[in-house]
Structures are given as C-alpha cells and as structure tokens.
Structure 1
Amino acid sequence: MAERKVAVTGIGMITPLGLDTESTWASVLAGRSGVGPITKFDASELPAQIAAEVEGFDPTKFFSKKYTRQMDPFIQYAVAASYMALEDAGMLEDKPPAERTGVYVGAGLGGINTIETTHDTMRAKGWRHGISPYFVPALIINLAGGQISIFHGFKGPLMSHVSACSTAAHSLGEAYLAIRYGRADVMIAGGTESTITALSVGGFCAARALSTRNDEPTKASRPFTASRDGFVMGEGCGLLVLEEYERAKARGAKIYAVLTGYGANSDAHHVTAPSPDGSGARACMHLALQDAGLAPEAIGYINAHGTSTAADAVETGAIRSAFGKHADALAVSSTKSMHGHLLGAAGSVESGLCCLALDRGVLPPTINLDDPDPACDLDYVPHEARKAQVEHVMSNSFGFGGTNACLVFSRPDAG
C-alpha cells in the first residue's frame, strides 16, 4: 500500500489552563500561569508545595456519575477529552467506521490516585470491604484508551504506549504510522495524566526534580532561565483526532495541520538525565526531519521539551547542533512555563498547541524568562505570544530512561 498523508482534524484538551481547547489556547496567548498551591492533598511537609492542577472539572458533563467510581481521574480526563476531540472533528454523531478507527492513549504513571486511596481504605477496612471490584480497571493505563473505545464503539487498533514524558508523543507518532501504512483510517491519540498525589509529588521531591519556589508559584516554572530550580508537576489530557488526509478532504473536514514527520530513539545513558552532549535529542530531531522530507531550514517553530531543569541547556545545545546556522532564526518556546509538566500528557497537549499555532498564525510564548541562562541562547518567544505564519513546526518530548520522540506538523497547504 502506498504511504498516506495524515491530517489533524480534531483537538481535545483538559489542562491547568482551561477545561477545553479554546480556553487553554486563550490562556496560552495571554501568557497565564496555571500553577498554584497544591489543593488535592496536604503538601505542607513537602519541599514542593505547588503544582499546575486542573480546576473545576466535572466528569458528569460527559458520562453518568456511576462511571466515575470505575475510573481514576486520568481515565476520566481521557474520556472527556475524547468527546471534545471527536466533536471538534465532526465525528461525535457521524462516527467513522468502527473497524477502521483506533485509539492510542497512554499515561506515564496511570492510576496512582486510585492506588493510594485504595491502600488507605484496605488498611482501615480490610481487603473485602476496602477494595472496589473496579480497583484494577480504574488504575491500569490501557483503560484510558479502553474506555474511549468502549464509550464510542471503536474497534480498530487499541494500545497504550508508556514512555514517561515521551508517552503522548509516541502515541501520536505510532497512530500516525497506523494510518500512514493503512492499518486504520482514523485514530484518537495522545496522553493523559493525573498524578498530583502525596506519593507522586513526594517521589519527585526525593529525586530533587521539582521547583520549591512555593512563595511565587506562578513564576516557578521558568524554562531556560539561570534561576530555574526544577519542573512543576501538572495534570490533564490532550487528544488529537488523526485522519487519513484524502478522507478528511472528501468529507470537508477542517484540517488544522498535517502530521508529516516522526522520530523516536533513545539516549542509552541514564535513568533520569539526558546524555550531556544532547546526541540523542539531536538524532531524534534529525529522524523526524528525515521522515518529513524536510531540511532543517523549513522548521519555523519548536515547542521545546523545556522542563525548567538543567536539561534545558542540553536541549538548547541539541537544537543548535541539529539546526546549525538556522537555529538563530528559529522561534522556540516552552509552554510548560504556563501549564507545567503534564508528564505522560505533555507531548499531545504541546502538539495540539503546535497545530493551533500553525492554523492561527500565533506562536506561544515562554513566560517567566526574566534571567536567561547564558547557556540557553535561542529565541524563546519571551513573555508574549507572537504573530508569525510558519509552514512547519516541531514538538520535542524527552523522558526518563532516555526515551525521545519528536513530531513535525505542517500547514495543510505547505506541500
């Protein structure tokens, strides 16, 4: 079968910046931070007491209350976002053929809320009265995609990729390949996460990975600055509807972008730190460009992994190495400065923002860039969104274990 083009025809988001795609986008354009004091548990004894929480989410807008007892919040976010993405794509009522529609939705940590809560009730009440029969289905990662498949009746390929902070990008990339090589015509893909719990936040504190700027939460996520002191944990979900391009055109769908390139590799270096020379990230960007059939000079914007950790300088060096002289002409930003680090959902939320940037001619900013690190010397679109019509963009995602994923999105008319 000849290789097929892959269009993005729907976007669904639930983030610390908004409960849907448009409110999230508006917050990004306004340069608003979604970071604040942790409210989901008492964090007063932890070094990091701040996070980017989803506020005001009501799952009963999407399904009845009885289902909330069967789903950890990360699954609830995914099911809700699937309704948004499908509605955006015009597929909620006029659904695509079930056997040709698949779901690739992953998470980094899965149902840690359910694990912690159930552990407490089991210790208090014993296993017979303390463990719900829905305990396992509520927490395992593949039930995010599984519930989406069940709710919408999709019978195509169903998988959950788990690759730490690269999870959502890998899900999108593999869904792109499924359509490109004819295994499906439509895919709902991305990542979801809800891990703002005592154990999860405490674990990242123990690893000294989180910002402790508790007195200035909105300024805590500050990628590429000299004063950055760790990432800020976020939560939420981003799902994209990917569709075979000719099918999308034939039904008159709005096409936000075309997913044109996907690179995936590994550093083989360290469990938490990237290779110091940035070789893995550089090679991954090259793979994505090669897959898209583009020269480095074609890329106009990169949504960087940019976590507000020491790794920002490594990524900067990798971009310089991958793009050469063109690096100085690139616009690069980290939207994690606003929505925090969504872990397994990061890559798809950021990819959704890339598609909106292409479609609407506005590049998201990096906020809090008050004291740039001399080792981070690119154009990071500081403080304010920028009007700019670019033809091709890249989204970078790098995760623990040295796993890397890069995606290239292009304007539908970019050729």
Structure 2
Amino acid sequence: MQLKRVVVTGLGALTPIGNTLQEYWDGLVNGKSGAAPITYYDTEKHKTKFACEIKNFNVEDFIDKKEVRRMDKFAQYAIVASDEAIKDAGISLENVNKHRVGVIWGAGIGGLQTFQDEVMNYAAGDGTPRFNPFFIPKMIADIAPGHISMRNGFMGPNYTTVSACASSANALVDAFNYIRLGMCDVIVSGGSEAAVTIAGMGGFNSMQALSTRNDSPETASRPFDATRDGFVLGEGAGALVLEEYEHAIARGAKIYCEVGGGGLSSDAYHLTAPHPEGIGVIAVMENCLRDAGLKPEDVDHINTHGTSTPLGDVAELKAIKAVFGDHAKNININSTKSMTGHLLGAAGAIEAIASILAMQHGIVPPTINHTTVDENIDPSLNLTLNKAQKREIKVAMSNTFGFGGHNACVLFKKFEN
C-alpha cells in the first residue's frame, strides 16, 4: 500500500523555561536554566533540594476550578499544552471528521502526586479505607488523553504509551504510523509529567540518579561535562498535532515540518543503566533512518537524550559515532535537558518540539553548563556548547530512552510541498 505523508501542523508547550511555545523557544535559544530550589514541599531532609518546576502558572486561568479538583497535575499540564497545539493547528469539529481524530499521549508515571497524597492520608488515619472517589481517575496514566478527547470531542484512537522516559516519543511514533497507514487524519500527540513530589524526588535519589548540586541548581544539569553527577528532574508537557498531508493542504493548514520516520528498539541489558557501547541506541537510530529512507549523512541535527548522567551521555555519543561515522562531526548535537531538566515521560515531546523549532528558525539551541572536557568524549563532536549556533537544518533527529531499556527515535524533515 502507498503510505501517507505526515506533517506537523500544531505545537504547544508548558515547560520549566516557558509556559507557551514562544516562551519555551526564547528560553532555549537564550540558554535559560529552569532549575531552582523546590517550592512544592519542605526539602530540609532531602538529598536533592531543587528541580525544574513550572513557574508563574495558575491552572485556573485555563481550566475550570471544579475540573481542576478532579485532575492530577500531569493531566492539567496535558490539557494546557494540547489546547495551545490544537489552537495553533486551527483544528475544530467544523473542519475535521471527529471519528478520524485521535489522541495518543505519553506519560512515564502519571498521577504521582495524587497517589502519594491518598496513601499518605490513609496512613495518617485510623486504618479505615477512606479515599477520594477521584483517586483512581486522577492517578491512572491513561486519563490525560481521555481528558483531551472529551474536551475537544475527538473520537478516534485514544490511549497512553508508557515506556518510562521514552513514553511521549513512543506516542509520536504510534501517531505517525496510524496516520501514514490511513487510519486517522489527525492525531494530537505528546506527553506530560508532574513527578516533582516527595515520592518522585525521594525515589530517584535512592537510585542515585539525581544531581545533588544544591549549591548551584541552575548549573546542575550539565550533559557531556566531566563533572556531571546526575539528572535534574523537570515537569511539564509538550503537544504536537500530526496530520495527513493532503488533509492539511485541503484545509489550508500551516505546516511546520514533515515527520520522516520513527525507530524503536530495546537494550535488553539492565533495568536502569544503558548498554556501555550503546547497542540499543545504535539500533534505534539505524531503524529510524531506514524507516525514513535516509542515509546517515543526510542528518544535520540530533537532539540527544543527554540526561547529564555519567554513563548515559558517553554511551549515546558512542552510538552516534558508530551510526554516523565521519559525518558525526558535521552534525550539531545538543541536549536541551541542560535547560529544561528531565521531564521523564514528557521529554520526547518537548525535545521533538525543540528539534522542529530549530529546523524552522535555523538555530540549534545550546547545551549549557559545560565547563570541563570529558576525556571519554570525542572532542571532534560538535555538542553546541553554551551558545546557540545558526545553521540550516533539513533533517533533525530526536532521541529518547527509558528505564527498562526502551529506546525511541523520531526524525523530522524540512517541509517541501
């Protein structure tokens, strides 16, 4: 069968460095750090006392107060970002077939704050199982796309992908496939996460996964730097409207780019650590290139997973060298997690958006906070250190990996009619 072309017609972002798409982009190109002391709870007894929280945000500016009480923050964030993307795309029930519009969303954890609060309230009581009737509907990871579909009347495929930090990249690959196979005209896709909680921070600290640079939060996320000591937890959401090309043209939609391909793989190695030689990462990028029908030398930019962990950063760059060979030094490589922190299940979505905007504007956002060269990293690689760089981008890739060995890669191409 002839596969359909898939384009991106809408974007929305709610991030630690900007609460709208434009604010997010401005934060990226200006090298803004979203890390700061945690405001949500008392961190006195915690190892890590900072994170990349959403700032200057009042959810009741976007969602009715009654509805807010029935949603965990991860679902609230999903609605805010998807509202922006849907408006940006100009999608409404007047110009689409609602049965052919889906919502495929990613969340690595879901309603962690809700789960924490309900269990702690029960533990503080007399043992009587008193729980909020919205406990389960607020907590479950699939509820975010449910809210988005109900809010907009979209009646196509509706579900959540859960693959830890690869969740929203997996959602994008699924959405891409549904549309190019002719099963949908439009899919709202992306991801959201709200894990800056006592349980979230405490759990990641117990794994020694988080940076403990409490004396300098804004510089703590430092991918590829020799002094990196773990990732910085972030929160927020990113939303993309994927649309079948002919459908978008017929309604006169603005087109950001074309989705060229998607790749998936598994490390089959360790619960949390990457394979030291990046075997699964090599496979996922090769799968993505093959799916897109492109050669390694066609790629101009890679937004890496780049979490700022000692093992992960080196393994990913080894994999890039293995796939791209001599061409690797011609690619602008970066990690926007240096600014946003790690948004877990939302990471793939907001980093895909960063890749698309880099292509649109011809500017690669920097990898900030780099001060010390890591002798384990090839110095010929252009890691876009500390300052944004201008360049034409025709093909961009975005890598996202998750605990459990889940790997996802999405490729975007400059749109040509």
Counterpart of 1:383? 386
Cα distance change, pair 76–405 in 1 and its aligned pair in 2 (3 A): same
More displaced, 89-98 or 213-222?
A: 89-98
Counterpart of 1:103? 103
Counterpart of 1:22? 22
Q: How does 1:174-323 map to 2 (within 5 A)?
A: 174-310=174-310, 311-323=312-324
Contact 1:83 1:92 (8 Å CA) reproduced = no
Cα distance change, pair 203–95 in 1 and its aligned pair in 2 (3 A): farther
Instruction: Give the letter aligned to residue 248 of structure 2.
Output: A
Instruction: Please state how far the C-alpha of 1:56 moved relative to its aligned partner.
Output: 2.1
Instruction: Please state how far the C-alpha of 1:60 moved relative to its aligned partner.
Output: 1.8
Counterpart of 1:331? 332
Cα distance change, pair 126–97 in 1 and its aligned pair in 2 (3 A): farther
Counterpart of 1:142? 142
CA distance, structure 2, for counterparts of residue 62 and residue 28 of structure 1? 24
Paired residue secondary structure (2:165)? helix
More displaced, 91-100 or 241-250?
A: 91-100
- Unpaired runs of 5+ in structure 2? none
Which TM-score applies when normalising by structure 1?
0.97
Which TM-score applies when normalising by structure 2?
0.97
Counterpart of 2:372? 371
Instruction: Please state how far the C-alpha of 1:43 moved relative to its aligned partner.
Output: 1.6
Instruction: Give the letter aligned to residue 386 of structure 2.
Output: H
CA distance, structure 1, for counterparts of residue 377 and residue 104 of structure 2? 34
* 1:334-389 Cα shifts (integer Å, max 9, x gaps): 00000000000000000011111111111111001111212223211111111111
Instruction: Give the letter aligned to residue 403 of structure 1.
Output: H
Paired residue secondary structure (1:160)? strand
Contact 1:114 1:135 (8 Å CA) reproduced = yes
Instruction: Give the letter aligned to residue 15 of structure 1.
Output: T
* 1:265-318 Cα shifts (integer Å, max 9, x gaps): 101000001111111101110000010110000000000000000210000100
Instruction: Please state how far the C-alpha of 1:127 moved relative to its aligned partner.
Output: 7.7
CA distance, structure 2, for counterparts of residue 372 and residue 130 of structure 1? 54
Instruction: Please state how far the C-alpha of 1:96 moved relative to its aligned partner.
Output: 2.1
Contact 2:95 2:251 (8 Å CA) reproduced = no
Instruction: Give the letter aligned to residue 391 of structure 2.
Output: A
Contact 2:366 2:385 (8 Å CA) reproduced = yes
CA distance, structure 1, for counterparts of residue 201 and residue 167 of structure 2? 19
Paired residue secondary structure (2:167)? helix
Paired residue secondary structure (2:300)? strand
Contact 2:363 2:389 (8 Å CA) reproduced = yes
Contact 1:123 1:130 (8 Å CA) reproduced = no
- Unpaired runs of 5+ in structure 1? none
Q: From 378, 385, 400, give the equivalent of 1:397.
A: 400
Instruction: Please state how far the C-alpha of 1:92 moved relative to its aligned partner.
Output: 4.7
Instruction: Give the letter aligned to residue 224 of structure 2.
Output: F
Contact 2:300 2:331 (8 Å CA) reproduced = yes
CA distance, structure 2, for counterparts of residue 127 and residue 371 of structure 1? 53
Counterpart of 1:353? 354
Instruction: Please state how far the C-alpha of 1:45 moved relative to its aligned partner.
Output: 1.2
CA distance, structure 2, for counterparts of residue 155 and residue 95 of structure 1? 14
CA distance, structure 2, for counterparts of residue 409 and residue 372 of structure 1? 30
Instruction: Please state how far the C-alpha of 1:124 moved relative to its aligned partner.
Output: 3.9
Cα distance change, pair 207–323 in 1 and its aligned pair in 2 (3 A): same
Instruction: Give the letter aligned to residue 40 of structure 1.
Output: Y
Q: What percent identity do the matched residue pairs reach?
A: 46
CA distance, structure 2, for counterparts of residue 126 and residue 253 of structure 1? 58
Cα distance change, pair 127–31 in 1 and its aligned pair in 2 (3 A): same
Instruction: Give the letter aligned to residue 393 of structure 1.
Output: A
CA distance, structure 2, for counterparts of residue 69 and residue 38 of structure 1? 23
Instruction: Give the letter aligned to residue 397 of structure 2.
Output: M
More displaced, 90-99 or 188-197?
A: 90-99
Paired residue secondary structure (1:405)? strand
Instruction: Please state how far the C-alpha of 1:128 moved relative to its aligned partner.
Output: 7.1
Contact 2:93 2:153 (8 Å CA) reproduced = no
CA distance, structure 2, for counterparts of residue 234 and residue 16 of structure 1? 7
* 1:193-222 Cα shifts (integer Å, max 9, x gaps): 000011111111010000000110110000
Paired residue secondary structure (1:239)? strand
